[in-house]
Amino acid sequence: MLEPKIFYRELDALLAKIRIEQAGVNFLPHMLAELDSNFGRRLHFKDGRIYELVERLFILSHSDKEDASCFTSEIGFNQEAVQLVYKNRSYIFDPPDAGRIFFKTECSRPDCQAAFWIHSPEKQWLFVFSLTDGWIREEINLFLNSVRTAMNYRLFSDAIGARFGQAIQIQKSLLPADAPALPGYQIAGRSQPAELVGGDFFDYYEMEGGTFGVAIGDASGHGLPAALLIRDVVIGLRMGLAMEFRTPHTLRRLNSVIQRSTYASNYVSLFIAEIEQDGHLFYVNAGHPGPLLVHDQEIRELAATGITLGFLKDIQLGRNYVHLPTGAVLVLYSDGIVERLNEKGEMFGIERLKAFLLRHQHLESQAILELLFETVIEFGHGAPWEDDATLVVIKKTAWSTAEKTSPDQASAGSLALSPAQR
């Protein structure tokens, strides 16, 4: 019988090592060697080996014993002994003949066998040991299950970390590295995910004749499912616009893609606009918080022209128009900005956002963006973001050619286009 205090202290040290050991192809063989060398003699087990599941067969992939000729090299997944380990996650084969399948028939009668099952999202393994005289069932069970739990946690943590790392790189590659430098405009954008990856996005599209596009979107939820859906949306938008589809047509195609998606996140609000060099702006707003157009002491909200993508199979999306006069500031934002909470549970809200923009519209777009993020962060007393937060600030500046806007256009406001124009 082991001294309990010493055993638990050394077991804790082993479990900590499993958590921090450098991962890689040798991780499992190295941990097997640790189990054999540090606990084998005291817990009365030896001859550790690893079987890896390959196409319904467990293949012997590693053994700590130099002469492994007596160990079975392949074991079928449906074998009774394997199923006992699978169902119980760890199993002691007692009497010895119960674990006979782990040895070749020509070899001498084996010792009792103990095994546990570990798995990552992609692979599965069996760890098998031979028990020697003096083993105690309670000690072996405690040891096997503690190690199994720690190793499974480590394998899944590594896999999830790798997937998140890939998702982070994908999302970074989808977000614009720089704003386009266009005559007559200052443009700045930033997205702050609440987790490692987020469900917000913004994007720019350069078109012919000095026209450019801008989009902002927000998938339901946040984290990896939302980020995966946003990846599909960004790629779909870029492909649709590159093929010169009209914006409503592109969004209806995207709606069909979102409807068919199997992600936990399956709704996307989206605002997309085409902005001409002289300030003419045509937009579609699919259920996104209305961007704010600020000029002098007036603020105008570019309200929704249709519902959020993903709710219905067939949707109707209108296309509206506004004009950006020189000095006007257009702010696109996601709800993470206005729904930021302070210590009293109050939201930053749309009215605070409007008041901020009226006070600071004289600044350049990058300065407005940075100051607004600082203001919202301070409002929440520096607490972590509970939702993804995204801002795009576009300021109309003077350009060399006189603006070709008639008084009627400048005051026209939001003009729904005719069906022929959509």
CATH number, domain of 123, equals 3.30.450.40
pLDDT at 403: 44
124 in a domain, yes or no?
Answer: yes
Q: CB-side exposure of 375: number of CA atoms within 13 Å?
A: 20
Helix (H, G, I), strand (E, B) or coil at 66: coil
Which of 134-143, 162-171, 228-237, 367-376 shows the lowest per-residue confidence on average (mean pLDDT)? 162-171
Averaged pLDDT for residues 181-209: 90
203 and 297, same domain (yes or no): yes
DSSP for 250-301 reads HHHHHHHHHHH--SS---EEEEEEEE-TTSEEEEEEESPPPPEEEETTEEEE
Residue found under tokens 């079975």 = 72
Which of 164-178, 188-202, 203-217, 341-355 shows the lowest per-residue confidence on average (mean pLDDT)? 164-178
Angstrom CA distances, 322 to 120, 265, 298, 319, 405, stand at 54, 32, 14, 11, 12
Domain edge (last residue) among 166, 185, 213: 166
Under 8 Å between Cβ of 92 and 137: yes
Question: How many domains does the chain divide into?
Answer: 2
187 and 318, same domain (yes or no): yes
pLDDT in tens, 270-314: 999 999 999 999 999 999 999 999 999 999 999 999 999 998 988
240 and 281, same domain (yes or no): yes
Residue 376 has pLDDT above 90, yes or no: yes
pLDDT band at 404 (very low <50, low <70, confident <90, very high): very low
Torsion of CA 292, 189, 286, 208, to 10 degrees: 100
**Domain containing residue 139:** 4-166
Residue 87: other Cβ atoms inside 10 A:
9
322: nearest Cα among 218, 415, 401: 415
418 in a domain, yes or no?
Answer: no
Averaged pLDDT for residues 142-146: 94
Under 8 Å between Cβ of 15 and 150: yes
pLDDT at 2: 64
Domain edge (last residue) among 135, 166, 197: 166
422 in a domain, yes or no?
Answer: no
304 and 184, same domain (yes or no): yes
Averaged pLDDT for residues 51-77: 94
207 and 312, same domain (yes or no): yes
Domain edge (last residue) among 166, 195, 228: 166
